[in-house]
Amino acid sequence: MLFIVLMVSGPFIKIDGEPILMMNIVERRFIIFGQIFWPQDFHIFLLIMIAGVVFIGLFTMVYGRVFCGWVCPQTIFMESVFRKIEYWIEGDWKDRKALDRAPLTASKFIKKTVKHVVFFLLSGLISCVLLSYIIGVHKVVLLVTDHPLNHLGTTISLLVFTFAFYWVYAKFREQICTTICPYGRLQGVLLDKNSLVVAYDYVRGENRGLLKAHEVRADVGKGDCIDCNQCVNVCPMGIDIRNGTQLECTNCTVCIDACDYMMEHVGLPKGLIRLDSEAGISENKPFRFTWRVIGYTGVLGVLLAFITMLLVMRTDVETSVLRTPGITYQLLPDNKVSNLYNIKLINKTNKKIQVHLKIESGPGELKLIGKELIIPAEGTAQTSAFIIMDQTDIKKAKTKMNIGVYADGEELESVSTSFIAPLN
């Protein structure tokens, strides 16, 4: 439930006036934790994505499919919202099966209609949340409050998402995990016998057999599984976890609760189905970190360190100072030489910034063509400038220079360029 609250409130949470997360693919505008990422920052963005994939891989190796059961929005909305509503309207799995088989009566018609209307409305709400992460919450609010035809593109997107979610939650359901989700298909590669999974303790449970009054199960060769089938009945994927870890299992742990309930009911210890590794059950070994996990952790650590370094070095303004193509140096009176430059600046913040430029690497004077250099919020600015040097200060035909970019007396970044001049 906490995850749903976080997901729904995410678009409303702002850092420095920017959303906590926005992935506007159409306008190529990406915001993570209030930081605007431009196409120029794509390498950082890509590294964050790679680190995310490594993290999920590592997490899966150690903790199995915990991500599927507890973080994946599809499972969370399905199990915590849609299935609960279905339960309230149509009853438990037995009632639902009976209702599906029953002839169409007024009661069945009302139940089915109410369920599908609620599912469709909720799908619309989820689509609004998803769209808020793409185009921003203010545009979604505008779409909902304004005439839909004034925002035709967004309205069509909203309807497409709504119908897609409705179809997934009402019909397709967990099949998405086994047929469409690429992560689900990776499980066979990522899991090993040390990964934590929802597992049936076959050492303790077998031979399974129905509970009989006054019978000492151990004496008749029976294990603790009373073959009540509750774990199978409650499983949303319709699998029998007693047959071993299966691709379809999303680690939702519903079967654990069902089995614990039965164990408690018949006075046997809980945990016949539990979170454990194959090694933990077959060899009674405690959980341990494998070399594979340590290796992945190292890769993840390096990636995170590299991303942190790039983020720390990332500047609010990105500047390029390049000599104007096709123009060489100009000789000026008083033994001076000038070069003409094209200057481009990108403002990655949501506030306009007035900058001034200064030569930092030695003598010389930088003269802007024009007065002030103001970069609009989340915008770009372009100007030209002359750098003028005294011939007596020039030691090489091509001199490397550093130009400091300042705002409010604070240096935002330093860029390098070159200055050409004739050697006397």
Residues that bind ligand SF4 (CB under 6 A): 198, 200, 205, 225-231, 235-237, 239, 241-242, 249-255, 258-259, 262, 272-273
Q: How far apart are CA 40 and CA 70, in angstroms?
A: 34
* Cβ at position 93, least distance to ligand SF4 in Å: 12
* Cβ at position 229, least distance to ligand SF4 in Å: 5
CB-wise, 11 or 223, nearer to ligand SF4? 223
CB-wise, 107 or 229, nearer to ligand SF4? 229
* Cβ at position 66, least distance to ligand SF4 in Å: 11
Classify 287 as helix, strand or coil. coil
* Cβ at position 286, least distance to ligand SF4 in Å: 22
Q: How far apart are CA 123 and CA 77, in angstroms?
A: 10
Please report the DSSP string for 366-390 in residue order: EEESSS-EEEPTT-EEEEEEEEEEE
> Phi/psi of residue 323, each to 5°?
-60, 140
CB-wise, 207 or 320, nearer to ligand SF4? 207
Q: How far apart are CA 179 and CA 167, in angstroms?
A: 15
CA–centroid distance for 284 within its chain: 36
Residue 150's Cβ-side half-sphere holds a number of Cα atoms within 13 Å equal to 8
Name the β-bridge partners of 334. Answer: none
Name the β-bridge partners of 389. Answer: 337
CB-wise, 199 or 359, nearer to ligand SF4? 199
* Cβ at position 62, least distance to ligand SF4 in Å: 17
Classify 248 as helix, strand or coil. coil
Please report the DSSP string for 189-219 in residue order: HH--TTS-EEEE-HHHHPSP----TT--GGG
* Cβ at position 91, least distance to ligand SF4 in Å: 19
CB-wise, 37 or 200, nearer to ligand SF4? 200
CB-wise, 93 or 406, nearer to ligand SF4? 93
* Cβ at position 243, least distance to ligand SF4 in Å: 10
Q: Is 418 within 8 Å of 389 (Cβ atoms)?
A: no
Tokens coding 303:
């990636």
CB-wise, 44 or 81, nearer to ligand SF4? 81
Tell me how far CA of residue 275 lies from CA of 75, 231, 281, in angstroms. 18, 14, 10
* Cβ at position 153, least distance to ligand SF4 in Å: 38
CB-wise, 250 or 319, nearer to ligand SF4? 250
DSSP designation for 286: P
